[in-house]
Amino acid sequence: MAKIGRFKNDQARAEYLRAYDALETLWPLPQTQVDIETSFGTTHVRSSGSGSGLPLVLLPSFPGNGLQWHGLIKDLTRDRTVYAFDAIGAAGKSVQTAPFTGEADIAAWLAEVLAGLGLTRAHVLGYSQGSRLASLLALYAPERLASVTLIEPNGLLVKMKWSVLFRIMRFGIRPTEANRVKMAAWLTPGVTMNEREIACLHAALAFHNTLGWPRLLEDAELQSISTPVLAVFGGDSVAGNAVAAAERVTDLLPHGQSRIVPGMGHGVIDQAPDEVVPRVLEFLAQHDHSDATPR
């Protein structure tokens, strides 16, 4: 039976919200927060910025809240309004009320949020888990998409290494700070978390996540995506084979571009923001008035 994402108890939820509120103080820009009603529950969205560029939607990595973008939001809002989602089915201020029964449901949820925000056309950027969400939107409900940016979309283009899944599950079973440090040094080397980020991460582990794992997309599925796509990989990422993944992007996606950042890991966008963010902004600007028509 499909399940609904939830905290293990009220105390765990309260502890998480305290950590979330503390992390929220690091958001550096004026912001607006709204809760968008969908068929699957309410989605918490914060927005910042303005400008003539098409809006940008940010979809988070595990554990699922939009505050993870606080260090990048100033640059990302340079020419446009940016919307950061707390994912339904993951820890955050979104509240799931109906289960996802499949990938099409996840895409339908995201499309409903875009509609609820009044976004008739938008760019979508997803990192890690967020890349899976963005890819499902491109597959099942691309009508509102101007472009999709996938940061470290491991498991979608090449199989995720079992060592990654094993270490993530092991950390979930024994979520000590020592184990977090070991996993971070292996998975996202060069990325430093502050005390508030660490506290929010640990508190999020009391949440039962219902978003599921990525699956390898078939050639025909990639060929059917007519939305322009940029995929960015860390050249030394332990999560997947960056070269093989990048080749599938450029060989199979009708409007696919890829970028491998040498020497970087799974946390490439945080590890090398001065290289990754300008490339993303260039890609967004190229497709603010894209001729590619999603089908």
pLDDT tens sequence across 253-264: 999 999 999 999
User: Given a cut of 70, is residue 291 above it in pLDDT?
Assistant: no
Average pLDDT over residues 93-110: 97
**pTM, two decimal places:** 0.95
Task: Determine what percent of the chain falls in helix, strand and coil, rounding each to the nearest 5.
Answer: 40, 20, 40
Q: In the prediction, which pLDDT does 242 show? A: 97
Q: Are 270 and 277 in contact (CB under 8 A)?
A: no
Distance between start and end Cα atoms, the chain: 32
Average pLDDT over residues 179-189: 91
CA distance 285 to 295: 22
Average pLDDT, the chain: 94
pLDDT digits (tens, 9 = 90+) for 224-236: 999 999 999 999 9
Q: Which two tokens stand for residue 183?
A: 């996993």
Among 14-23, 39-48, 161-170, 263-272, the range scoring the smallest mean pLDDT is 161-170
User: Given a cut of 70, is residue 265 above it in pLDDT?
Assistant: yes
Which of 46, 49, 74 lies closest to 58, judged by CA? 46
User: Given a cut of 90, is residue 290 above it in pLDDT?
Assistant: no
Please report, rounded to a whole number, the percentage of residues in the chain having pLDDT higher than 90. Answer: 86
Q: Which residues of 206-244 are buried (b: 16+ CB within 10 A; e: fewer)?
A: bbebbbeebeebeeeebebbbbbbbbbbbebbbbbebee
Q: Are 288 and 152 in contact (CB under 8 A)?
A: no
Among 34-43, 76-85, 174-183, the range scoring the smallest mean pLDDT is 174-183
User: Given a cut of 90, is residue 163 above it in pLDDT?
Assistant: no
Q: In the prediction, which pLDDT does 190 show? A: 95
6-286 fold:
Rossmann fold (3.40.50)
Q: Which two tokens stand for residue 106?
A: 């996840």
Which of 161, 294, 164 lies closest to 229, judged by CA? 294
Average pLDDT over residues 58-87: 96
pLDDT band per the 50, 70, 90 thresholds, residue 170: confident
- Adjacent-strand bridge partners of 96: 41
Q: Which residue has the higher pLDDT, 64 or 141?
A: 141
Q: In the prediction, which pLDDT does 294 show? A: 37
Among 19-33, 57-71, 241-255, 281-295, the range scoring the smallest mean pLDDT is 281-295
CA 247, 252, 258, 261 dihedral sign is negative
Q: Is 244 left (phi over 0), alpha (psi -120 to 50) or beta?
A: alpha
